Structure 1
């Protein structure tokens, strides 16, 4: 078998590269397909996930003992940013930065179109790893919880909004050219392996309540999909949400998959809404991220 033949994607990867049944931007799909072909994902990741899943549950148990709680947000984010800068692959870093933008857009769209709501828009649109020193993962979670508290109880509208009634005021389309990510030779770690390394740090350096809230925040995906589906008149959006039932609190079991599926959910919902926005442009829509 030739070398060129060995480097080709598998038949399945070729299939999903051409499957647009679910909404996702081509830029995100290309990044994910490249990440899937990282040899470390298949050779190192299973071992890392096994070892660190055990360590995560031990830390989880330790943090729930009746000891004084502590957190170190700044140290946690500095360590993550340093590690991403030097060891995480470019495509994985781009997927992380895209996730901030996709979720910020989805939340701002929901809030802007919710009836009678007064809210402060989410401003987390980092364009480099250094920007994540301020736009931290902890802040990312807290903005989600803040916005849901501000929106209050959801009253299902009798009729969806018309296309020309949708408010895109705080929407910022993602321009991949705006992301600043210089490449280093040491950047070799795939997305899921990097998450396996990070999840123990999060559990250790946050209080037990902060960490519990963070890993259960994914379950608000279903609520977001239901609300936006009501606004645009498309009940099928709730099928995009893998993480569901926010009133049932879960622990760190299966965290890697739930984290990844949350990322897919925001990418898909962003792509769905962006397509609607472009098909019905309005003067109030924000310009691309700059």
Structure 2
């Protein structure tokens, strides 16, 4: 769709750079917004799957023997991605693993902690291992080892460490495009969320959907390191001590994705500036 065919608001957010976010991510999101299934199929599926999700949540909270199927979960999600989920949504999913891995690695390295997250899938098949489950567990483990928030102190831009940082290169992502790949990002999440609830143990799933609330903690620590405490305003999900259920899960998940994109773009800009200053010297 050309710019002239887009609504005035879509053109506005497509060109607005007030928030730190890479143009590639904005373009993917704007194209995903234009997916007709987002405005027709998604509301129906989100309503139906929200009911199913809460029923599954209730079932999994019953005092029954717990079961999980991590391998089956991975295979089913990757099958959906390869056959039904749109290329734009797949690229946004792949980007998310990279943005969050970079953010956690930057935080750990510049807090003096030996924590490394190595989840940088370049194609859907890379995610078929334990990526989706490991994504959450590595975040929690990283926070467990980060220790006292006082260790996050302001560091001069030229002295920030980037050893485990991996710049996102859109050309590095590999996708086999199929005519059946038509489902937008949010509809895809509606399909996935019930699978997650059913195929994870109850505490695994509870922890996963509450992990978004660590966004505020991440922003506080990184804000101190780079001397920009105002970046905490980028975190929609807050207050990790208050555990929540699956209500409003789709929006909280989506805002978590935006948060990591914002933080990645902010840090990448700082890294580029530091490199430019270093080259000039």
Pairwise TM-score range, normalised by the shorter structure:
over 0.9
TM-score scaled by length of structure 2: 0.96
Residue of 37, 40, 43 corresponding to 2:37: 40
User: Relative to structure 1, is the Cα distance of residues 274 and 250 closer, same or farther in structure 2, using a 3 angstrom cutoff?
Assistant: same
Q: Which runs of 5+ in 1 are unaligned?
A: 285-290
8 Å contact 1:124–1:140 — kept in the other structure? yes
Match of 2:108 in 1: 111
Residue of 128, 131, 136 corresponding to 1:133: 128
Q: How far 1:212 moved relative to its partner?
A: 0.1
Residue of 99, 102, 117 corresponding to 2:99: 102
Q: Deviations over 1:180-225 (max 9, x none)?
A: 0011000000000000011000000000000000000000000000
Question: Secondary structure in 2 aligned to 1:16?
Answer: helix
Q: Aligned pair 1:162/2:159, yes or no? A: no
Q: Aligned pair 1:49/2:46, yes or no? A: yes
Q: Aligned pair 1:10/2:7, yes or no? A: yes
Q: Deviations over 1:151-201 (max 9, x none)?
A: 1221165x6110111000100000000000011000000000000011000
Question: Secondary structure in 2 aligned to 1:261?
Answer: helix
Runs (4 or more) in structure 1 with deviation over 2 Å come to 4-7
8 Å contact 1:40–1:190 — kept in the other structure? yes
Q: Aligned pair 1:271/2:268, yes or no? A: no
CA RMSD after TM alignment = 1.8
Q: Aligned pair 1:83/2:80, yes or no? A: yes
Question: Secondary structure in 2 aligned to 1:155?
Answer: helix
In 2, Cα distance between equivalents of 1:201 and 1:145? 21
User: Relative to structure 1, is the Cα distance of residues 203 and 5 closer, same or farther in structure 2, using a 3 angstrom cutoff?
Assistant: closer
Count, aligned residues = 278
Residue of 178, 188, 192 corresponding to 1:194: 188
8 Å contact 2:3–2:11 — kept in the other structure? no
In 2, Cα distance between equivalents of 1:277 and 1:52? 41
TM-score scaled by length of structure 1: 0.93
